[in-house]
Structure 1
Amino acid sequence: MGPQPRPEHATAYVVGVDFGTLSGRAVVVRVSDGEELGSAVLEYPHAVMDRVLAATGEKLPPEWALQVPSDYVDVLRTAVPEAVRNAGVDPRDVIGIATDFTACTMVPTTADGTPLNELPGLETRPHAYVKLWKHHAAQEQANRINRIAEERGESWLPRYGGLISSEWEFAKGLQLLEEDPELYNQMERWVEAADWIVWQLSGEYVRNACTAGYKGILQDGEYPSEAFLAALNPDFASFAEDKVKHPIGALGSQAGTLTEEAAGWTGLPAGIAVAVGNVDAHVAAPAAQATDPGQMVAIMGTSTCHVMNSDVLREVPGMCGVVDGGIVDGLYGYEAGQSGVGDIFGWYVDNQVPAADKRKADDAGLSVHQYLTEQAQDEPVGGHGLVALDWHSGNRSVLVDHQLSGTVVGMTLSTKAHEVYRALLEATAFGTRKIVETFNTAGVPVTEFIAAGGLLKNRFLMQLYSDVLRMPISTIGSDQGPALGSAIHAAVAAGAYPDVRAAAAAMGQVNRDAYLPDPERAAAYDRLYAEYELLHDYFGRGENQVMKRLKDIRREAYSKAAVSA
C-alpha cells in the first residue's frame, strides 16, 4: 500500500485550478487516491488580445499578447463552484485549493494588487494589461540583457543556458519602462499571474519559488544586482528591489487561507488552505509521479514545456533554467520548452487548409485535425518529401530566440495539406529530440519521457514522438494534469501529506511505456532529423539571418502605417 493521507483527511477533497492560455479549469479531487470527481471550464471572455486592445480597438504592434486579469477571477466565480456541483461533494469537505498558471505571465499592479488597467483612465494603455507568456515584443530588451550579462560575466546567466528569454520578467519589465515610463512609475508591483491569483484568494502576496527562479532570475537568494540593472537603463536600477522582490514561498506550502470574499466567489469554506502558486508545466510533474531524477515530463498543449528533476547541477545550453527546489524540494528542477506546438497545428488548420479538405472532414464527422491526422498516418515516413522548422512562435530551447520563424522545405505543386500537417507534427518532435539530446550531452540524462497535456489525444502524434526520440513514452493518467498537480499541492498545503513526493505517490497517475519506438520507422526519422538539424543550425545559429530581417521589415511596415494613420 502506498502513502496514505492523515486519518482526519481520509474522506476530504481538494480543488485544483489550472489557468491556461485561453481558459481556466477547476477540478475536484479526492485526497486519498487522486480520483477526479468533477470539473468545469471557463473560456476567458477576452481571450488573448494580440491584434487589438479590446477597450479601444487600438491596433497592437506585432509580437504583443495581452490579457484582462478580471477574466481570471471569473474562473474562480464560475468554474470552481460548477466543478464542486459536478463532483457532488459537500463543499464543507473541501480542505484546500491550489492554482497553477502560464508563465511568464505578468500583471502590473498597485501596492494592494489592483491591476493597473482597472484604474480610471488607464484602460486605454496597452502596458497596463497582463503581458501573457507569449508576448514576445520585448526581444530588443532581452537581447540587451543577454549581451550586457555576458560582457559583465554575470554568475546567474549560465543557470539559464546562457540566454534569458523575451518572455521573462525582466525583459518585459524593461520594455514597459522604456515604452511607457509614466505607467512604469505608477506600477508598484510587477506580479506573476501565478502569484496574483493566490493574492486574490488569500489576501496574501507570496512569490512562489518556481516562477521567481525560472522567470525572475532569482538564484542563490539574489536577483540581478542594481549595478547590472543600471547598466541596462539607469531608470531600471531599482526594479528588482522596488517592484519584484518579495518573500518566497516553497512549493506545496501554504500561502494563506481563503478569504471571506473569495469564499463567496468559489462557494468553498473560508479559512481553508490556499497553496503557494505554481506554473502549469512544473506542477504537472507530481501529477505524473515524476519526482525522481531523470524523469522528463513534456506538457504538450499550445506550447510544450519540458521539466525534470536531477540530483546534479549542470549548465545545459539553451535550457530555460535550473532552480534548486523548482519542482520538488531536494532536487534541481530543470526546464526547457518549445514556444509553439499545438498553436502551430491550430494555425495551419485555421489558415492553410483548403475548403475541400474541411468539407471532407465535416462529411466524415471528424474535426479537421482528426481528418488530417488520418490522412497523414497512412503515408510512409518521408513520403511527403518535406522537413519543417517549428519556430512559428520563435524558439524557446535550445536557441532561445523569438525572432526566428517557421518554415517548410520541400513543397511542390503536388504537396497535399495533410503532408504539410504531418511535417509540422514531425518538426515539433524533432524540436523535442534536440532538447533531449542537449540534456543528455550536458550530463543531465533523460531516463524516462512522460507526455502530458491536451495533445495526448492524438495517438499518432504520440507514436511519432516515440519513434523520433527512440524512447518509450509514458503518459500521464489524467486528462487534466496541471489541475491534478495543483490539487496535489493543495493536499500538502492543507496538511494531508507531509510533502509533495508522498502526495504524488498517492494521488498521481501514470501509464508506463504506453508507446514503444518502432526500429524501422525510427531509422527513417533519423534521416529527416539530420535534415532538420542542418536547417536548425543554418537559420538558428547566425549563418542566415533572413528570418530576423523579414521581421524587421514587418515591424518597419507597421510603424510607417501607424504614423500615416
Structure 2
Amino acid sequence: MEVLLGIDMGTGSTKGVLVDTSGSVIATETVAHSMDLPRPGWAEVDAENLWWREVCGISTALMAHMPSGAVLAGMCVSGVGPCLVLCDDDLRPLRPAILFGIDTRAAAEIAVLTAEFGEAEILERAGTLLSSQAVGPKLEWVRRHEPEVFDRATGWFGSNSFIAAKLTGEYVMDHHTASQCDPLYATRDYTWNLPWAQRICAHLPLPRLVWPSEVVGTVTAQAAAATGVPVGTPVAAGTVDAYSEAFSVGVRRPGDQMLMYGSTMFLVQVIAEYHSDPALWTTAGVERGTLALAAGTSTAGSLINWLQGVTGGASFEELVAEARDVPPGSEGLLVLPYLAGERTPVFDPQARGVVAGLTLRHGRGHLFRAAYEGISFGIRQILERFDDAHSGARTVAVGGGLRSPIWVQAVSDITGRLQLIPEQGIGASYGDALLAAIGTGLVPADTDWAKIAREIKPDMRNRELYDDLYATWRELYPATKEQVHRLSGQTTG
C-alpha cells in the first residue's frame, strides 16, 4: 500500500493528512497557531520555530499512523503566501517571515517601484499591479530598512519553498508562488522577469522554477531525523495554500471558481487565456502552463469574530439565531467590511469599516446579518471582474465559514451563483497529497479526488432587493473615502 503525506501551513493552523492513492484519508493532525503583529501594518511568523517545528511535529505524528506494511511514497507541503523568508547558507531565517497582503509595511516601496518601472508596464509584464500582496516591494523594504539582514541573506523563499529546502536542500520556487512575487516574474511567459528581478534581488540568486507537483528532491538524513519521514522520500514542490485547496476540490478547468470562506475571503478562478486587470491578481496556475485569476479581501470571518467580541461575547450559535430572525437586507443596514483596510478590488490599506443606515430599531442580529451581506457584496464585486476574463461556469465553496448558513446563503443570493460544497473539507493538505501522488507518478495527472456533497442555490425572491442594495453599497466606499482616510490618520493601526 502506497501512502502520501500532505501538510499545509495556514494562517491559523498547520494541518497534515495521510492519504492513499484512491484519496481515502487514513489520518489527520492539526496544530493551532497565530501570527505575530509586532507593529501596526506588520504581520510575521517565525519560519523556523513555528512552520518548520510544526511540520516536524505533524510529520512525526502522522508517521505513527502509517498502516502496517504501507510505504510513504511522497510528500508535499503548502503554506500561506506569498511570503518572504530570507535565509543564510545554513537555511537559518535572518528575520521573521513577512506575510502576504495583510502585511502592509511596504507602501512606500510600492510607490517607488511603481514609479521606477511604470504602472502600465508592470501590469503588462507581471499581470498584476503592485500591492501589499506582492513580494517584490517586501524585498525592497528589507533592503532599505534592514540592510544588514539583506546583505547577509543568501537565499529568499516563500513558506512552502522554505520547507522544501529544509526537507531536500533544494533551492526552488513553484511557478504559482513566483507569479505572486511581483514584479519579479513574467506571468505571460512563465519565467523570471530578469531585469527587474535582478534589480530588486541584487546579490540574491533566483530560485529554480518548478511546477507545484514536480518532485524537487528527496528527504535528507538530517530532515528525516527531524520529521520521522524516511530518508529518500520524494518531495513535491507544493504551492500557496489557497491554490492547493482549489486543486483539492477540482477547480482545474477554465471557468472553475473557488470561494474560500475564512478569516479573509480568497477567490481563485482558472482562465483559458492570459488576462490582466488592475483590480485582480493574474497568476500562473497549479498545473503546468495554466493561468488563474485571484482576489482576496482583508477581513471576512475575522469581522464576525470581532463583532462577536464587541457585542457582548455571545456564542456563535446565539448570534446566528438572532441574525436568522432578521430579514434579508437587514432592514436597510449596510456594512463596508474594511476594518483592516481592503485588498481586492480597492487595494486601500487606509480603508475602514462603515455602517450605514443604523437606527434605534437595529440590534445585534441586524449588525451580524449586515456584516455577512457586506462581505457578500464584496464577493459579487470581485466575481463581476472575474467574468470579464472568463464567465464563471462552476463555483466550489470551501472553508470554515461554511458552518454559517446565513453567510453561505447570502453569497448565493447576492451573487446569483449556485455553490457546490465538497464532501472532503480537509483543505489544502488534501490537495498537497494529490500533488505528491501526481508528481511521483502514482496516479495520472488528471486524477481528481473531489466529490460534491451538496449545493447552495440562490433564492431568487431576494434578487431584486439585493440588486438595489448592492448599487447603494457600491457607492459607499467612494462617497466616504476622503473622510475615512482622514480618520485613519488618527489611529495607530
Check conservation: 2:269, 2:386, Cα contact below 8 A. Answer: no
- Deviation (angstroms), 1:490: 1.0
Task: Give yes or no for the alignment of 1:206 onto 2:147.
Answer: no
Question: Paired residue for 2:92?
Answer: 114
Question: Paired residue for 1:271?
Answer: 232
Question: Paired residue for 2:32?
Answer: 43
Amino acid at match of 1:67: V
**For the residues of structure 1 that align with 2:443 and 2:7, how far apart are their CA atoms?**
19
Task: Give yes or no for the alignment of 1:332 onto 2:291.
Answer: yes
Check conservation: 2:269, 2:292, Cα contact below 8 A. Answer: yes
Amino acid at match of 1:72: W
Check conservation: 2:44, 2:98, Cα contact below 8 A. Answer: yes
- Aligned partner (choices 119, 131, 135) of residue 103 of structure 2: 135
Say if 1:178 and 1:412 are closer, same or farther in 2 by CA, change over 3 A: farther
**For the residues of structure 1 that align with 2:174 and 2:163, how far apart are their CA atoms?**
12
Question: Paired residue for 2:380?
Answer: 433
Amino acid at match of 1:131: I
Q: Please give the secondary structure, in 1, of the residue aligned with 2:373.
A: helix
- Deviation (angstroms), 1:140: 2.3
Amino acid at match of 1:470: G
Task: Give yes or no for the alignment of 1:95 onto 2:73.
Answer: yes
Question: Paired residue for 1:68?
Answer: 46
Q: Please give the secondary structure, in 2, of the residue aligned with 1:164.
A: coil
- Deviation (angstroms), 1:88: 5.2
- Deviation (angstroms), 1:370: 2.2
- Counting only pairs closer than 5 Å after superposition, residues 213-362 of structure 1 correspond to structure 2 as 213-217=179-183, 218-219=185-186, 220-224=189-193, 226=195, 238-243=199-204, 245-323=206-284, 326-350=285-309, 352-354=310-312, 358=314
Amino acid at match of 1:508: A
Amino acid at match of 1:327: V
> Alpha carbon RMSD of aligned pairs, Å?
2.2
**For the residues of structure 2 that align with 1:331 and 1:274, how far apart are their CA atoms?**
22
Q: Deviations over 1:469-523 (max 9, x none)?
A: 1111012222212111111101112221242xx22x2x223336x1111111222
Q: Percent identity?
A: 24
- Deviation (angstroms), 1:158: 6.7
Say if 1:142 and 1:348 are closer, same or farther in 2 by CA, change over 3 A: farther
**For the residues of structure 1 that align with 2:331 and 2:225, how far apart are their CA atoms?**
56
Task: Give yes or no for the alignment of 1:515 onto 2:456.
Answer: yes
- Counting only pairs closer than 5 Å after superposition, residues 458-473 of structure 1 correspond to structure 2 as 458-473=404-419
**For the residues of structure 2 that align with 1:105 and 1:547, how far apart are their CA atoms?**
29
Check conservation: 2:133, 2:180, Cα contact below 8 A. Answer: no
Say if 1:545 and 1:189 are closer, same or farther in 2 by CA, change over 3 A: farther
- Aligned partner (choices 309, 332, 339) of residue 392 of structure 1: 339
Question: Paired residue for 1:13?
Answer: 3
Q: Please give the secondary structure, in 2, of the residue aligned with 1:419.
A: helix
- Deviation (angstroms), 1:222: 5.0
Q: Please give the secondary structure, in 2, of the residue aligned with 1:430.
A: helix
**For the residues of structure 2 that align with 1:375 and 1:147, how far apart are their CA atoms?**
50
Amino acid at match of 1:534: E
**For the residues of structure 2 that align with 1:282 and 1:461, how far apart are their CA atoms?**
22
**For the residues of structure 1 that align with 2:305 and 2:359, how far apart are their CA atoms?**
23
**For the residues of structure 1 that align with 2:112 and 2:43, how far apart are their CA atoms?**
21
Question: Paired residue for 1:551?
Answer: 488
Amino acid at match of 1:374: A
Q: Paired residues, what number?
A: 488
Task: Give yes or no for the alignment of 1:196 onto 2:145.
Answer: no
Question: Paired residue for 1:443?
Answer: 389
**For the residues of structure 2 that align with 1:301 and 1:511, how far apart are their CA atoms?**
20
Amino acid at match of 2:261: M
Q: Deviations over 1:88-107 (max 9, x none)?
A: 52485221111111112211
Q: Please give the secondary structure, in 2, of the residue aligned with 1:15.
A: strand
Structure 1, 453-462 or 13-22: larger mean CA deviation: 453-462
**For the residues of structure 1 that align with 2:147 and 2:331, how far apart are their CA atoms?**
51
**For the residues of structure 2 that align with 1:545 and 1:488, how far apart are their CA atoms?**
48
**For the residues of structure 2 that align with 1:160 and 1:400, how far apart are their CA atoms?**
15
- Counting only pairs closer than 5 Å after superposition, residues 471-510 of structure 1 correspond to structure 2 as 471-499=417-445, 502-503=446-447, 505=448, 507-510=449-452
- Aligned partner (choices 319, 325, 338) of residue 378 of structure 1: 325
Check conservation: 1:309, 1:327, Cα contact below 8 A. Answer: no
Check conservation: 1:338, 1:397, Cα contact below 8 A. Answer: yes
**For the residues of structure 2 that align with 1:297 and 1:129, how far apart are their CA atoms?**
30
Check conservation: 1:91, 1:267, Cα contact below 8 A. Answer: no
Check conservation: 2:78, 2:159, Cα contact below 8 A. Answer: no
Question: Paired residue for 2:468?
Answer: 527
- Aligned partner (choices 353, 362, 365) of residue 418 of structure 1: 365
**For the residues of structure 2 that align with 1:549 and 1:389, how far apart are their CA atoms?**
17
Amino acid at match of 2:288: D
Check conservation: 2:325, 2:365, Cα contact below 8 A. Answer: no
**For the residues of structure 2 that align with 1:99 and 1:256, how far apart are their CA atoms?**
13
Check conservation: 1:198, 1:276, Cα contact below 8 A. Answer: yes
- Deviation (angstroms), 1:242: 2.6
- Deviation (angstroms), 1:244: 5.6
Say if 1:344 and 1:495 are closer, same or farther in 2 by CA, change over 3 A: same
Amino acid at match of 1:35: S
Check conservation: 1:296, 1:449, Cα contact below 8 A. Answer: yes
- Deviation (angstroms), 1:245: 1.4
Question: Paired residue for 1:232?
Answer: none
What TM-score, normalized to structure 2? Answer: 0.93
Task: Give yes or no for the alignment of 1:167 onto 2:145.
Answer: no
Question: Paired residue for 1:55?
Answer: none
- Deviation (angstroms), 1:293: 0.8
**For the residues of structure 2 that align with 1:369 and 1:456, how far apart are their CA atoms?**
13
Task: Give yes or no for the alignment of 1:186 onto 2:152.
Answer: yes
- Deviation (angstroms), 1:537: 3.5
- Deviation (angstroms), 1:223: 4.3
Q: Deviations over 1:108-148 (max 9, x none)?
A: 211332111xxxxxxxxxxx211122211212222333344
What TM-score, normalized to structure 1? Answer: 0.81
Check conservation: 2:266, 2:296, Cα contact below 8 A. Answer: yes
Q: Deviations over 1:20-53 (max 9, x none)?
A: 1122011111112x11221111123xx2211xxx
- Deviation (angstroms), 1:290: 1.6
Say if 1:426 and 1:215 are closer, same or farther in 2 by CA, change over 3 A: farther
Q: Please give the secondary structure, in 1, of the residue aligned with 2:490.
A: helix
Amino acid at match of 1:145: L
**For the residues of structure 2 that align with 1:551 and 1:147, how far apart are their CA atoms?**
25
Check conservation: 2:211, 2:286, Cα contact below 8 A. Answer: no
Check conservation: 2:139, 2:201, Cα contact below 8 A. Answer: no
Amino acid at match of 2:467: D
Say if 1:486 and 1:203 are closer, same or farther in 2 by CA, change over 3 A: same
- Deviation (angstroms), 1:275: 0.6
